[in-house]
Structure 1
Amino acid sequence: MDFKSNNSRILGVFLLLCLFSAIVGQSTIPSKQDGFWYGEKKSEEDSVLIEAFFDPVCPDSRDSWPPLKEAIREYGPRVKLVVHTFPLPYHDNAFATSRALHIINKPNSSATYDLLEAFFKHQEKFYGKATFNMSRAAVVHQIVKFVSKALGPSYLSTIKSGFTDTDTDHATRVAFKYGCLRGVYGTPFFFVNGFPLPDAGSALDYKGWRQVIDPLVKKPKRYLKK
């Protein structure tokens, strides 16, 4: 997204502090790689890896998801996707909604993207006037109810207990630090085979993804039905 100069300065200082703390204060390496794999993790030797850094309450992250999803379906197993949460400090409740994704991913990774899409569809429930006068506890309670409604009542105890689980808090922090270490400064932010795409913070349409991916693969096919 386009940042105003004031927001850019604040975020720049914030990320520098986070980067310093991540490098100096990180005493242990996480037990597993960060990110949510989309579909099967196993990939072909010549597959293309796309890494997306999303904020669940970022409108540009929301707008970038449908064309990226379409491109992944178009190219099938030759293109793999990993999504990382990157809660921006100036987006209301970005950390709490990101944490909800880590909570759900722990017992059932297949539900993670369903929840991400639910957050994208109903972003207005979690920022601005909707939560301006709410306490942190009240916001968490709202998220718990939202998740149980979006995914089903069987997830109620999982999401509720997850917000008291220090492991999910740690996983969300690690994801943010990982983004800082990679030089991420806004959302959406994309890497293809480890290299950052230009125009970070802007949604890339389907045609744009084709222009990025086509030169990296031989002949695009439709592996999945739309």
Structure 2
Amino acid sequence: MSMPPVFLLLCFFSVLNLSAAQTPIPAKYDGFVYGGGSLWKGLVIIEAFLDPMCPDSRDSWPSLKQALEFYYPRVSLAVHPFALPYHSNAFASCRALHIAHNLNASSTYPLLELFFKHQESYYNAPTYYRSRAFITDQFSKIAAEAVGKGSYSAIKSGFNDSRTDMATRISFKYGCSRGVMGTPYFFVNGIPLPDYGSALDFKKWKSIINPLLTVKK
């Protein structure tokens, strides 16, 4: 999705602030590894910055998932939740991903897909008169579908845990530190792909990955 000037300024000041005050260093590398395990196990490493409330992120996911399943285990993926500030409920949805991951790491990607499925119900206009408490309750219910039966209370409590708030902030600041300006935003083996904000189809992913695997071979 294209960036308004105010967001570019926000990213700029976030990066500038890194030099003024040290961002807390997380205990592990940011992001959720698809399929679990180490991100570095793949011959080709993809990092995707996605916003669960972004339609372009939603549209980019099916073809990226298809590529992962086609090339596994030669290709590995980490999704970094990146809450775009002009999507009103983005931060809460990214926080829900962190909460779910802490409770059941295998639930993170199913939850991301659930957010994509129900996304239109939580756009800015439909939730204009909804409170933050209402949104977190709704997101807790959605997350419970992915995490498992009886997990609702633990998920709801997670929204009151300062550690999940900090983890979500760090994910955003990490994206800013790498120059991420929108979603979806992709890096392949550490190099950013051009034309961020657009979904790549399966054919495009193959054209990117195949030459890299040939070189590795």
TM-score by length of 2: 0.93
Question: Unaligned stretches of 5+ in structure 1?
Answer: 220-226
What's the counterpart of residue 144 of structure 1? 140
Verify the 8 A CA contact 2:34 2:77 in the aligned structure 1: yes
Verify the 8 A CA contact 2:97 2:111 in the aligned structure 1: yes
Structure 1 segments (4+ residues) deviating >6 Å = 43-46
What's the counterpart of residue 103 of structure 2? 107
- Residue 34 of structure 1 pairs with residue 43 of structure 2: no
CA deviations on 1:152-179 (whole Å, 9 max, x unpaired) are: 4322022111001111000000000000
Where 1:50 maps in the other structure, the secondary structure is strand
What's the counterpart of residue 82 of structure 1? 78
Question: Unaligned stretches of 5+ in structure 2?
Answer: none
Q: Relative to structure 1, is the Cα distance of residues 153 and 12 closer, same or farther in structure 2, using a 3 angstrom cutoff? A: same
Q: Partners in 1 of 2:199 and 2:155 — Cα distance? A: 30
- Matched residue type, 1:197: L
Aligned partner (choices 189, 202, 215) of residue 193 of structure 1: 189
Q: Partners in 2 of 1:151 and 1:46 — Cα distance? A: 26
Q: Percent identity?
A: 53
- Residue 169 of structure 1 pairs with residue 165 of structure 2: yes
Verify the 8 A CA contact 2:40 2:76 in the aligned structure 1: no
Root-mean-square deviation (Å): 1.8
Q: Relative to structure 1, is the Cα distance of residues 13 and 118 closer, same or farther in structure 2, using a 3 angstrom cutoff? A: same
**How do 1:1-226 and structure 2 match up within 5 A?**
1=1, 3=2, 8-26=4-22, 28-42=24-38, 47-218=43-214
- Matched residue type, 2:83: P
CA deviations on 1:45-97 (whole Å, 9 max, x unpaired) are: 77100000000000010010000000011111110000000000101200000
Q: Partners in 1 of 2:145 and 2:68 — Cα distance? A: 28
Q: Partners in 1 of 2:40 and 2:12 — Cα distance? A: 37
Where 2:83 maps in the other structure, the secondary structure is coil
Where 1:97 maps in the other structure, the secondary structure is helix
Q: Which of 138-147 and 119-128 deviates more?
A: 138-147
- Matched residue type, 1:114: P
- Matched residue type, 2:64: L
TM-superposed CA distance for 1:208, in Å, is 0.6
Verify the 8 A CA contact 2:58 2:116 in the aligned structure 1: yes
